Amino acid sequence: MFPELKNDRLLRAIKRQPVDCTPVWIMRQAGRYLPEYRATRKQAGDFLTLCKTPELACEVTLQPLRRFPLDAAILFSDILTIPDAMGLELSLDEGVGPRFAKPVRSRADIEKLPVLDIASDLGYVTDAVTLIRNELDGLVPLIGFTGSPWTLMTYMVEGGSSKDFALAKGMLHDDPESAHLLLQKVTDAVIEYLKAQAAAGAQVLMVFDSWGGALSDHTYSLFSLQYMQQIVGALKADPVAKDIPVSLFTKGGGNWLERIAETGCDVVGLDWTVSMDSARQRIGSSVALQGNMDPTVLYASPDKVSQEVERIVNEFGAHDGHIFNLGHGIHPGIDPENVSALVETVHRASKR
């Protein structure tokens, strides 16, 4: 159905097989730091139109690959597509961030949330996946993704971004039954969403638990990790998705690497607060590791960027199973030349 894959470094690294050099891709690699992205966004008129128009989503997904010899494409979309499809009325304005006109604050709000029909409610995403996969013509693998149930819950309950998650955490402690009901509804939707991305052509599936690190040890297991484990289990049992690797990334999750690896996922993402060497010793024999350069290093000179890349590559050492990435998304103010230095250095420094 799809063209044969020409560069399989990412998939080989995920299986912890030998590669000629370490594969690299960058969280938010299609984004505001690229002038061509800003031009396409202007053409779209607003961010949501960009996300919801498969041809434009395809164009911005491919833009970084025309500039840099990256080893993967990642679907251009947003983690908040599911709550938006549930009727919370998402708006995204630069400088303000995401906002929901109809946040979920009560048991009644949760019970009213609809069961999504992915084909009709989120078909623009799966259409984009298939279009991108075809347009890539086998150049590199395509990564599909979602936000984690807990991360989506924070936006749904808070009504947008938050520094302290007072309302979402308040629900966890004051009304855990309602919190679990909301998380289960979101989890069920995430599972169907990722299955649909797999069926549409995604070759890796990633779950971004952006706000898992805001939880305590106890609440992380109860309200974030157990739902990600459900997602992994459901995908591994699905006839279409069972052979698609699954990657879990909890920002601030360094204390829980062993528990994350035990979910049955194939890749564990690392932020910059964990050393690559210690992560490899702790879980590197059971999963591939993805990460973990501090995105702010890209504000430095190209020479400093290259030095930090070499340090991380050397820290991981001559072992299989490393996917180089940032420890979180690239910042909008980064010079693309520094990204060139990063990608080139990963490939050069890791040559086997």
Active-site residue, 155 included = yes
Q: Which of 78, 84, 127, 271 is catalytic?
A: 78
Q: Which of 8, 9, 37, 41 is catalytic?
A: 41
Tokens 């995403």 found at: 125
Q: What are phi and psi of 24, to 5 degrees?
A: -140, 135
Question: Coil, helix or strand for 258?
Answer: helix
Q: Which of 122, 275, 95 is nearest to 197 (CA)?
A: 122
Q: Which of 99, 47, 102 is nearest to 77 (CA)?
A: 47
Two tokens at 196? 């649909």
Q: Where are the alpha helices (DSSP H) in 3-80?
A: 9-14, 35-44, 47-52, 54-67
Of all helices (H) and strands (E), which one includes residue 173? helix 166-174
Active-site residue, 311 included = no
Are 232 and 265 contacting, i.e. CB atoms less than 8 angstroms apart? Answer: yes
Active-site residue, 78 included = yes
Are 20 and 339 contacting, i.e. CB atoms less than 8 angstroms apart? Answer: no
Radius of gyration of the chain (CA): 19
- Rounded Cα–Cα distance for residues 265 and 339 (Å): 28
Q: Across the strands, what pairs with 290?
A: 269, 323
Q: What are phi and psi of 74, to 5 degrees?
A: -120, 130
103-110 long-range CB contacts below 8 Å, 24 or more apart? 103/156, 103/157, 103/158, 103/159, 104/156, 104/157, 104/182, 105/157, 105/167, 106/178, 107/175, 107/178, 107/181, 110/178, 110/181, 110/182, 110/185
Active-site residue, 193 included = no
Q: Which of 33, 37, 155, 220 is catalytic?
A: 155
Q: What are phi and psi of 273, to 5 degrees?
A: -85, -5
Active-site residue, 41 included = yes
Q: Which of 8, 9, 16, 28 is catalytic?
A: 28
Active site residues per annotation: 28, 32, 41, 78, 155
